């Protein structure tokens, strides 16, 4: 009875395995079939058939006993029959728990070695290609960065070279103007000396000496005299710039013209123009701040503020002119007043300078300077860039010493004294204004 039941169960189990519900389970022949690319020639030569052998032993598929669900583990009642047990929903083929053969499980789940190896190789190549592409992008970025750094370095070098060239050109232009001015001064000094010699020979020099007396004055008297003349001098602003031909050109640069001033001295007129990329009132305000400083270092001297108000300033300047082993001391009294107009700012100033030399009494002389500094808008080609132009016109009258130089060395020193009057009083101030404007702009940005 038990053997019949086991055989019946095995047959029914085989029918359940071959049922449509388990179509996905491969047969033993399917599992034992070799890969397509591994089939031998002998095997391919044999005729293939899909029919299974008729004498298939069910024990080959299930070498171990079949384990049923819990319903089969309970003892069957005497009233139940094998057919009833199999018809029970709990004991249907869907609820049969079959312990598969370990060897069969390994064959059905393990992927084909060659196919897996090929997949691994493709995965490796994809990863490697991605890594190489990332390395290529990094190298390109590094190369671009290096090119950019190199280009930036060359740009800085080119900018420095260009700035150096422009600076050298400005210095050469300035030196050329100074040389031309000094040459004109020397030529006019020669005229004055020849005129002086003629007067001495005629006996008229004694009368001129009496008229050329210089009386001692206190500093307060000098400052008051300078301040009183500024209002009248302001009314002459337009005439002073209109008479100078180079002022109307509105370009950067300097110009000097010299001519004799009677018997006692020389008349010199200096014009300096500078274009700045700053707003009109900003530049004018910075110019006034610069003049209102308690102390200001100039090229060959020092500027010290004495007194000041909202629109007027009084200052004293001291200079030292060196020529070989000799030196000349220059003391200057300076007064300036500011006039703010709608479309421009005017600074009117006056200065008196006393010179004392160590070479001889020929260096004892006086300068009387009157000047106008005009700050107004400048029309450039680029409308988006707001600019202004600063123009300074200075008229210098030099009272030559009573004792004229007798040697070439004295004459050269006298020339340096006369020609340096304007440069030392103005060039350092203009440069200080420009430096302050640039520094303020860099702080604000």
Indicate if the pLDDT at residue 338 is higher than 90. Answer: yes
Q: pLDDT at position 276, please?
A: 87
Largest CA distance in the chain: 175
The string of DSSP codes covering 407-432 is SHHHHHHHHHHHHHHHHHHHHHHHHH
Regarding whether 224 and 105 lie in a shared domain, the answer is no
Given pLDDT bands bounded at 50, 70 and 90, which one contains residue 340?
A: very high
The residue that leads in pLDDT, 51 or 302, is: 302
Query: For residue 271, which of 299, 244, 294, 232 has the smallest C-alpha distance?
Result: 244
Is residue 148 a part of any domain in this protein? Answer: no
Render pLDDT for 170-195 as a digit per residue (tens, 0 to 9): 777 766 766 666 666 666 666 666 66
Q: Given its phi and psi angles, is residue 339 left (phi above 0), alpha (psi -120 to 50 degrees) or beta? A: beta
- Cα angle: 168, vertex 169, 171; to 5 degrees: 65
Measured distance CA(329)–CA(322) in Å, rounded = 9
Is residue 173 a part of any domain in this protein? Answer: no
Q: For tokens 């200001």, name the residue.
A: 296
Domain termination residue (choose one: 83, 110, 137): 110
Is residue 143 a part of any domain in this protein? Answer: no
Is residue 122 a part of any domain in this protein? Answer: no
Render pLDDT for 411-439 as a digit per residue (tens, 0 to 9): 666 666 666 655 555 766 777 888 888 88
Regarding whether 273 and 417 lie in a shared domain, the answer is yes
Domain termination residue (choose one: 87, 110, 133): 110
The residue that leads in pLDDT, 71 or 372, is: 372
Is residue 106 a part of any domain in this protein? Answer: yes
Q: Spell out the SS3 assignment of 184-241.
A: HHHHHHHHHHHHHHHHHHHCCHHHHHHHCCCCCCCHHHHHHHHHHCHHHHHCCHHHHH
Regarding whether 105 and 212 lie in a shared domain, the answer is no
Is residue 227 a part of any domain in this protein? Answer: yes
Q: What distance, in Å, lies between the first and last C-alpha atoms of the chain?
A: 107
Regarding whether 228 and 315 lie in a shared domain, the answer is yes
Render pLDDT for 68-107 as a digit per residue (tens, 0 to 9): 444 444 444 444 444 444 444 444 444 444 455 544 444 4
Q: Tell me how far the alpha carbon of residue 421 is from its chain's centroid.
A: 40
Query: For residue 435, which of 233, 244, 293 has the smallest C-alpha distance?
Result: 293
Structurally, the chain folds into a number of domains equal to: 2
How would you class 87 by CB atoms within 10 Å of its CB: exposed for 0-12, middle for 13-18, buried for 19 or more? exposed
Is residue 240 a part of any domain in this protein? Answer: yes
Regarding whether 295 and 387 lie in a shared domain, the answer is yes
**How crowded is residue 91: how many other Cβ atoms within 10 Å of its Cβ?**
17
Percent of the chain with pLDDT over 90: 15
Q: What is the average pLDDT across 24-40? A: 53
Q: Where are the alpha helices (DSSP H) in 46-112?
A: 58-61, 70-73, 82-87, 102-109
Measured distance CA(347)–CA(335) in Å, rounded = 10
In the beta sheet, which residues pair with residue 367? 353, 398
Q: pLDDT at position 75, please?
A: 43
Residue range of the domain that includes 216: 178-444
Is residue 264 a part of any domain in this protein? Answer: yes
Indicate if the pLDDT at residue 154 is higher than 60. Answer: yes
Percent of the chain with pLDDT over 70: 51
Render pLDDT for 211-269 as a digit per residue (tens, 0 to 9): 444 445 688 889 999 999 999 999 999 999 998 888 888 888 888 887 766 655 678 88
Q: pLDDT at position 178, please?
A: 64
| Tokens (6 digits) for 302 | 């020092």
Rounded alpha-carbon distances, angstroms, from residue 219 to 256, 314, 338: 30, 11, 22
- Cα angle: 44, vertex 48, 54; to 5 degrees: 140
Indicate if the pLDDT at residue 314 is higher than 90. Answer: yes
Measured distance CA(424)–CA(270) in Å, rounded = 12
Regarding whether 227 and 86 lie in a shared domain, the answer is no
Given pLDDT bands bounded at 50, 70 and 90, which one contains residue 136?
A: confident
Phi/psi of residue 426, nearest 5 degrees:
-125, -40
Regarding whether 95 and 230 lie in a shared domain, the answer is no
Measured distance CA(291)–CA(297) in Å, rounded = 11
In CATH, what number is assigned to the domain containing residue 379? 3.30.530
Domain termination residue (choose one: 110, 134, 156): 110
């Amino acid at each position: 009875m038990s053997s019949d039941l086991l055989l019946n169960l095995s047959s029914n189990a085989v029918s359940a395995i071959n049922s449509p519900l388990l179509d996905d389970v491969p047969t033993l022949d399917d599992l034992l079939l070799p890969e397509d690319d591994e089939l031998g020639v002998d095997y391919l030569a044999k005729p293939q058939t899909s029919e299974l052998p008729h004498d298939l032993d069910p024990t080959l598929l299930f070498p171990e006993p079949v384990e049923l669900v819990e319903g089969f583990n309970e003892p069957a009642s005497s009233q139940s029959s094998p057919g009833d047990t199999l018809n029970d929903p709990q004991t249907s083929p869907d609820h049969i728990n079959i312990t598969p053969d370990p060897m069969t499980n390994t064959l059905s789940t393990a992927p084909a070695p060659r196919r897996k190896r090929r997949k691994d190789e493709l995965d490796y190549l994809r990863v490697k290609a991605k890594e190489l592409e990332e390395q290529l992008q990094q190298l390109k970025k590094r190369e671009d960065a290096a090119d950019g750094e190199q280009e930036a370095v060359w740009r800085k070098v080119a900018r420095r070279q260009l700035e150096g060239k422009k600076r050298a050109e400005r210095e050469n232009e300035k030196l050329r103007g100074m040389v031309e001015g000094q040459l004109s001064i020397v030529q006019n000094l020669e005229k004055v000396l020849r005129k002086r010699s003629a007067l001495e020979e005629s006996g008229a020099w004694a009368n001129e000496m009496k008229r050329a007396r210089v009386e001692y004055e206190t500093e307060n008297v000098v400052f008051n005299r300078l301040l009183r003349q500024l209002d009248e001098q302001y009314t002459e602003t337009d005439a002073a710039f209109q008479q100078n031909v180079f002022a109307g050109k509105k370009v950067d640069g300097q110009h000097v013209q010299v001519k004799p001033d009677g018997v006692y001295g020389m008349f010199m007129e200096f014009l300096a123009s500078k274009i700045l990329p700053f707003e009109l009132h900003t530049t004018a305000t910075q110019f006034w701040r610069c003049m209102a400083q308690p102390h200001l270092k100039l090229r060959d001297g020092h500027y010290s503020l004495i007194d000041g108000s909202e629109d007027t300033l009084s200052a004293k300047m001291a200079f030292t002119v060196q020529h070989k082993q000799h030196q000349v001391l220059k003391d200057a009294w300076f007064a300036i007043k500011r006039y703010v107009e709608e479309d421009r700012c005017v600074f009117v100033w006056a200065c008196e300078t006393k010179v004392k030399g160590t070479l001889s009494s020929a260096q004892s002389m006086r300068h009387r300077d009157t000047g106008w500094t005009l700050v107004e808008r400048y029309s450039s080609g680029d409308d988006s860039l707001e600019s202004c132009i600063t123009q300074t016109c200075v008229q210098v009258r030099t009272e030559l010493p009573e004792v004229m130089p007798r040697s070439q060395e004295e004459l050269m020193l006298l020339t340096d004294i006369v020609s340096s009057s304007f440069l030392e009083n103005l060039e350092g101030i203009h440069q200080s204004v420009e430096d302050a404007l640039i520094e303020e702009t860099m702080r604000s940005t």
